[in-house]
Structure 1
Amino acid sequence: MGGRLKVGQVYRYSSSKDPKPPTLDGYPNFHHVTHSEGLKRALLEAGINGMARVKVPGGGVRRPAILIRSSPWKAGTEQTPWHDVFDMDNGHVRYFGDHKAGLSVTPGTTTGNAALLDAFTTHQGPTPEERATAAPLLLFRAVSRNGQPKGHVEFCGIGIIERAERLVQWGGRDHTTFVNYVYDLALIDLTAEDDAVTWDWIHARRDLDLTHRQTLELAPRAWREWVKHGSSVLPRLRRRVARARVVKVRDQRPQAGSSAATDLDLIYRHFDGRKHDFEALAAAVAAKVLGRGHQRYVEGWLTRRSGDGGADFVGRLDLGGGLAGTGLVVLGQAKCVKPGTLITAEQIARVVARLRRGWIGIYVTTGAYSEPAQTEMVEDQYPIVLVNGMGLAREVRATARDNHGGDLLACVKHIVDSKETAVTNRRPEEILLQ
């Protein structure tokens, strides 16, 4: 059996194709990882490498996989005039077929295009039974190491063909036009598998004695979901790097019955009914969170109860010093809600809409942030810091322990009662002048 193909990992693809050593020249050995005892090697000699079809129990055939290799160093040359696009962060690959200038065969009948067009048919299959026969696309791209463009490949994930299009290109020594195919591929989410694919799945797909259903047991979760539901679920199953920075709601909330849950409940009940006072606590927590490290945070003021325009407090974050320093306006939003409440993307967006170039935001709440809200924040690159209820309780508890003998309520009252920050309707940019 083979090993695991990890997204982003570079593998040594040697000309010897010896599967025995696990590593070569400090890199995992591609032929070791993809070794299937008694079966032909998995190869990347061509751009599009379709494994031989196998007959399956009950009739029918399946292609175990199609291995695709993109060679960026060839892009723009006479023989390879196209430029493949690998947008791994957003789960999209645009890959050009293998028809070339000067070929007399009909477009779509070259070895690679024929394999991908055949796969496209099953990838667009209307039933789970048809999609179960579909060949997964294992995507690689050549990378340079030690000044050499050949001999190393990076694994980029598992692809499903969303669209196949014929187009006219130019190439060859005479710069003539020719017809080729281009494919839009969706990279599926492999988060459940730690961003990796086990070769045992591909090995099982090569086994003549295993049914489609049996091989699916080893498939990635997203692949199984796609086989079951079809292309309608691809937007949800598409690989998004943003998801790696999204914290599940359950992980944002203290465990029931824990001391953190008790602290958070005490804070919420203390400010329930007078939530404007909560802004003072939120401003103090923001100062702790943003003031860590080498930067300096300057507290500004709280805004008035009405007409705050989407900001409850204002501060300044100083980076560097002297000519090598700058100050950033910080707009803060405080939201005291029941700890079980979720903050939505729309609520965060209202704060972001107030931000100007060089400003950042911070949102402090006793609740939690919905996963769609976090995804939108990461994908749209919102310059905002999120502090959930569990983080809020942790910061207040630390302050209580350091300055109030562990008395949380006394700490909260002291922050609110002794807050020297004025309540005003000054313009946020005035913080840069003080």
Structure 2
Amino acid sequence: MGQVFRYASGKDPKPPILDSYANFHHVTHSPGLKRALLESGINGMAKVSAVDGERRPVILIRSSPWKAGTEQTPWHDVFDMDNGHVRYFGDHKAGISAAPGSTTGNAALLEAFNGHQAPTPEERASATPLLLFRAVSRNGKPKGHVEFCGLGVIERAERLVQWGGREHATFTNYVYDIALIDLTAEDDEVSWEWIHTRRDKTATAAQTLDLAPLAWQEWVKHGNSALPRLRRRVARAKVSKVRDQRPAVGSSEAADLETVYRRFDGRKHDFEALASAVAARVMRGSGHSYVEGWLTRRSGDGGADFVGRLDLGSGLAGTSLVVLGQAKCIKPDSLVSAEQIARVVARLRRGWIGVYVTTGAYSEPAQMEMVEDQYPIVLINGMDLVRELRSMARDDHGGDLPACMDHIISGQEIAVTSRRPEEILLE
């Protein structure tokens, strides 16, 4: 996804590279079969009569943003690749007397839509995949280059009235809401071998699925109810799997985490002191100046467990941010939810950031919400916690983890106070 291909008028599939760009006709070449084309906006590849029934191998869609708003193309397609959504207008135009659903492109997409709404996995296995492209300008020319924008499933088809054409008349057309499928497992790539196999009359639809992207296979199994979790989201690149937040079973880190949990389970303020020290080390590790403040009292803390200050720059070119910390000592196999993180974020004011430290892990929905809503909060999971503690123990206590923890909590009593968080800016 995002790769730009050279789409040359000669359509020669031999050279893999043309003018320093990958050759579209080389990448989509199927020996002995007709070329894959992007001559129209909606390019339905010819159907094949396979051993288990008729199917269309693929529909290739091309959007031409440079035409948007013209008499020829009065509509504006929407490509929101980061959030896995495309809104694409059909090929009915002003002055065409045929019914809107009977034009070549609309007919192909409406047929594909029926397949995408099929109720059984067997029917969805034959459904037509959509490969989406949009024209991009290169060397000052709007034609001749296309960007691959992903693999799609039609969620909704809607008739609507548009305005356009030389006569400035209204006409009826279709618009399609298309979900872009997550291709993370394939490094954002689609193998043309999958499409090539779908063109093979001797291959069943079920056999071709072995070459399909993993998320497409999941959609075939579960249908459109699975689209919310299968939709492409760029935010997912910033989300860590739960398994990646936990130490490997039997590892020294797992033993350290169990030691921390057993020592601080039920000892709220002691763990808050530990969390404050670890948060300070993480903040300083990014090269910024960090000042530890205090722990809040057991009652009336308003959802904050410790307070600190992050200093950025110096003098007139500097500023300071209040850091509001939350510490939760929970079982290492437990998860922190989105609601728990949101409660901390709700306390933050302008110029404040949050830090959440736990012995557990953060659920993927919680991380997605944090990334998508741009929460100003740092998440430190159980594995990160013990790694920082082990590093502190090596630096200052000869590798003795219990001694390191003893040192951290020994001075906590003088740091417990009911001061307001913003007072940290005055120190």
TM superposition score category, shorter chain reference:
over 0.9
Single out whichever of 275-284 and 258-267 deviates more from structure 2: 258-267
* Alignment pair present for 1:236 and 2:215: no
1:289 to 282, 292, 307: 282
Q: Which runs of 5+ in 1 are unaligned?
A: 1-6
Q: State the TM-score, normalized to the length of structure 2.
A: 0.96
For residue 342 of structure 2, give the secondary structure of its aligned residue in structure 1.
Answer: helix
1:302 to 288, 295, 318: 295
- Superposition pairs of residues 117-128 of structure 1, within 5 angstroms: 117-128=110-121
Following superposition, the deviation at residue 293 of structure 1 comes to 3.3
Partner letter of residue 86 of structure 2?
A: V
Instruction: Answer whether contact 2:270 2:412 (CA < 8 A) is retained.
Output: no
Following superposition, the deviation at residue 295 of structure 1 comes to 2.4
Following superposition, the deviation at residue 421 of structure 1 comes to 6.6
The structure-2 alpha-carbon separation of the partners of 1:323 and 1:232, relative to structure 1 and needing over 3 Å to count, comes to same
Residue 275 of structure 1 corresponds to which residue in structure 2? 268
Single out whichever of 67-76 and 48-57 deviates more from structure 2: 67-76
Residue 47 of structure 2 corresponds to which residue in structure 1? 53
- Superposition pairs of residues 210-229 of structure 1, within 5 angstroms: 210-229=203-222
2:79 to 78, 81, 86: 86
Following superposition, the deviation at residue 419 of structure 1 comes to 4.8
Following superposition, the deviation at residue 26 of structure 1 comes to 2.2
Single out whichever of 17-26 and 387-396 deviates more from structure 2: 17-26
- Superposition pairs of residues 9-88 of structure 1, within 5 angstroms: 9-58=3-52, 60-88=53-81
Instruction: Answer whether contact 1:300 1:421 (CA < 8 A) is retained.
Output: no
Following superposition, the deviation at residue 102 of structure 1 comes to 2.1
Residue 154 of structure 1 corresponds to which residue in structure 2? 147
How far, CA to CA, are the matches of 1:433 and 1:80 in structure 2?
61
Q: Which runs of 5+ in 2 are unaligned?
A: none
Q: State the TM-score, normalized to the length of structure 1.
A: 0.95
How far, CA to CA, are the matches of 2:291 and 2:414 in structure 1?
11
RMSD: 1.5
For residue 273 of structure 2, give the secondary structure of its aligned residue in structure 1.
Answer: helix
1:344 to 337, 349, 367: 337
* Alignment pair present for 1:387 and 2:380: yes
Aligned-pair identity in percent equals 78
Aligned residue pairs: how many? Answer: 427
How far, CA to CA, are the matches of 2:101 and 2:245 in structure 1?
51
Residue 315 of structure 1 corresponds to which residue in structure 2? 308
Partner letter of residue 70 of structure 1?
A: S
Following superposition, the deviation at residue 315 of structure 1 comes to 1.2
Partner letter of residue 194 of structure 1?
A: D
1:428 to 405, 421, 424: 421
How far, CA to CA, are the matches of 1:389 and 1:127 in structure 2?
42
* Alignment pair present for 1:188 and 2:181: yes
**1:5-44, CA deviations, whole angstroms, 9 ceiling, x for partnerless residues?**
xx12122212222212222222222111111111111111
Instruction: Answer whether contact 1:20 1:32 (CA < 8 A) is retained.
Output: yes
Instruction: Answer whether contact 1:107 1:180 (CA < 8 A) is retained.
Output: yes
Single out whichever of 144-153 and 405-414 deviates more from structure 2: 144-153
Residue 192 of structure 2 corresponds to which residue in structure 1? 199
For residue 171 of structure 2, give the secondary structure of its aligned residue in structure 1.
Answer: strand
Following superposition, the deviation at residue 199 of structure 1 comes to 0.5
How far, CA to CA, are the matches of 1:390 and 1:148 in structure 2?
51
* Alignment pair present for 1:359 and 2:378: no
**1:300-326, CA deviations, whole angstroms, 9 ceiling, x for partnerless residues?**
211111111111011122222333322
Residue 4 of structure 1 corresponds to which residue in structure 2? none
Partner letter of residue 131 of structure 1?
A: R
How far, CA to CA, are the matches of 1:26 and 1:430 in structure 2?
59
How far, CA to CA, are the matches of 1:256 and 1:240 in structure 2?
30
Partner letter of residue 238 of structure 1?
A: R
